[in-house]
Chain A
């Protein structure tokens, strides 16, 4: 199939000081499923439209298998896009919608019929060819849009929030369906979404975008465990944020906690840091070695408990596994693992272990 390279893409809409996309570079391997994830207005759709050819970047290059396609109009690019609102042509039947691209390419009639049928089979709508798009449900329209994109055997598949118009249950079902089809076809795919859960569940790698730049590209597990920037740390999952600094002995003071600084990291005293602790990385014990806290709220969510505690005006959120017993009195909290950020970038991680073993982050 194909490898997609984005090199230093820049796009401005009007205002020169606020680029929609700024110096964006990204490599997508052959057959890989990459998500562009970020809040609305972060430039993810702009990036996708630049790959598809609908927007012309101000600078930078788009390459497929090393060949620049930046000068090609959308109709000549080997990319196919599934639009957010499906963009099925209402005056054509489902069959005609899917056949359109092949007819434009003047394929023989028999080949068109064969490929349209197999595309309909692929998305699980074999008998729907004669319907009109508006006679289909949202999920079915979604599948037709996918079939229309795949029937042309593009080298890159582009998906622009394709599941955002479906209701919650169908969305989760279509996620699985989409990944299954993508794996079967083995097509290099770029998927835009603002839904982190969606991105986490379908992507091989996620590129987290904010204000026109990629903050981090990594596997879902790495993004969650070691968010490279404070933005990623707070955007992905839930994170307790604590103001932190380093004292004269070289220890980190993060809110109520005192942890040893990892070896090999030198932070001048009084530099302000931010410490991030995942709710599940806070250990709640009865008369433990941690800091005494007051339990404010305890919500049983079935598979885990969501516990709010406070220490001297600092509020912390904890996720406690169902199996663990709630302390009857004198509860204490200690961090199992803490992420340290200076100027929004990850400095190091305090690792679990009795000695609060710390590791430098490169």
Chain B
């Protein structure tokens, strides 16, 4: 940009524009081209190297300093993880709690999001912001305080206790993102449906909800992952009866060799990767485009 500006201001001047001082290298085209590559490589190294280490550890049998790669590989820790009874029950509990939390969060939060988006009531802004309150304190303190309440309600160590505690972390995303989705549905589209003869309920089901659906789906994915990865609250409320995968990971990382932790991390990240792929393929390509383009 600066080059072309310099060029246009010196019309008739045959000298090529040069820049003096500390930023001279900006005018070197080779440098600029290299800059992009350097950034990409740096960023991917930053993101991918830890993952590569994780993968190596998962298949390592023996890996001692100062070697850059493990001395020997094996699958025996995979076998150990998959045959371990604690792991099996943790996987089961994880896949029981996270979907239930997601559904309950959607049932509670989507109507709330709609209200925040469509109605003006006293204290609306304050309430909207206050959803962040759960994230404003150190989580563990909050969970301990909730635990004392749960003791009295006989929720400690129960399935529903874990569901409730995991719900806390999903509220913000599950209200804020769908609220933004509802905001993006133009009032005119709803007016047009009423004009065509649809009552308020029909307008919501046929127009507003389908158009806000991409946002709700994205929020549900985030809520699912938040519940799936939740460890602190589940540890406080659920143990020792309800042990989910992230909670079990604490035990495994402390008590077993590194490959076990690495394998478990890979298992834990699998749902995120799968959901991400679904989101990319179906949401971004089709639904989002249909809903938000062209206006």
Contacts and interface: CB of A to CB of B under 8 A. Distances in A.
Nearest to A141: B294
A338 B170 CA distance: 74
B189 A89 contact: yes
A152 B294 contact: no
Interface in B196-216: 196-199, 202, 206-207, 210-211
Interface residues on A, range: 20 to 34
Nearest to B292: A90
A90 B198 contact: no
A52 B197 CA distance: 12
Interface in A159-182: none
B186 to A, nearest CB: 7
Contact of B291 (A83, A88, A91, A104): A91
Contacts of A88: 192
B79 interface: no
A225 interface: no
A73 B291 contact: no
B195 interface: yes
Given A89-B207, A104-B202, A134 B192 contact: no
A100 B206 CA distance: 9
A81 interface: yes
B290 interface: yes
Given A75-B197, A104-B198, A134-B295, A83 B191 contact: yes
A132 B188 contact: no
Interface in B162-203: 186, 188-189, 191-199, 202
A85 interface: yes
A83 B197 contact: no
B293 interface: yes
Nearest to B211: A91
A78 B291 CA distance: 29
Contact of B188 (A53, A73, A85): A85
A199 B35 CA distance: 59
Interface in A75-95: 75-76, 79-81, 83-85, 87-91
A100 B188 contact: no
Given A104-B197, A104-B202, A105-B197, A132 B290 contact: yes
Nearest to B188: A87
A231 B191 CA distance: 33
B196 A152 contact: yes
Interface string A50-73: 001110000000000000000001
Contacts of A241: none
A212 interface: no
A83 B196 CA distance: 12
A91 B188 contact: no
Interface residues of B, number: 23
Nearest to B186: A87
A133 B194 contact: no
Contact of B194 (A75, A105, A152): A75
A74 B195 CA distance: 5
Contact of B195 (A52, A132, A135): A52
Contact of A74 (B191, B207, B290): B191
A268 B195 CA distance: 54
Contacts of A52: 195
Interface string A288-332: 000000000000000000000000000000000000000000000
A139 interface: no
Nearest to B198: A104
A101 interface: yes
Contacts of A73: 194
B284 to A, nearest CB: 16
A278 interface: no
Contact of B191 (A54, A104, A148): A54
Nearest to A99: B196
Given A89-B189, A90-B290, A91-B211, A75 B206 contact: no
Nearest to B293: A134
Contact of B211 (A75, A79, A80, A90): A90
Contact of A89 (B192, B194, B293): B192
A101 B290 contact: no
A101 B195 CA distance: 8
Given A89-B189, A91-B211, A75 B195 contact: yes
B82 to A, nearest CB: 43
B101 to A, nearest CB: 28
A87 B192 contact: yes
Given A87-B188, A91-B211, A100 B291 contact: no
Contacts of B291: 90-91
Contacts of B189: 87, 89
Contacts of A105: 197
Interface string B71-91: 000000000000000000000
Contact of B198 (A84, A85, A91, A100): A100
B188 A74 contact: no
Interface in A84-121: 84-85, 87-91, 100-101, 104-105
Given A87-B189, A91-B290, A152-B196, 18 more contacts: A54-B195, A73-B194, A75-B194, A81-B191, A81-B195, A83-B191, A88-B192, A90-B211, A90-B294, A90-B295, A91-B291, A100-B196, A101-B198, A104-B202, A132-B290, A132-B294, A134-B294, A149-B195
29 contacts: A52-B195, A74-B191, A74-B195, A75-B196, A76-B197, A80-B195, A80-B196, A81-B192, A81-B195, A83-B191, A87-B189, A87-B192, A89-B192, A89-B193, A89-B207, A90-B211, A90-B291, A91-B210, A91-B211, A91-B290, A91-B291, A100-B198, A100-B206, A101-B196, A133-B294, A134-B293, A134-B294, A134-B295, A152-B196
4 A-B pairs with the lowest CB-CB distances in the bound complex, closest first: A134-B294, A101-B196, A87-B192, A87-B188
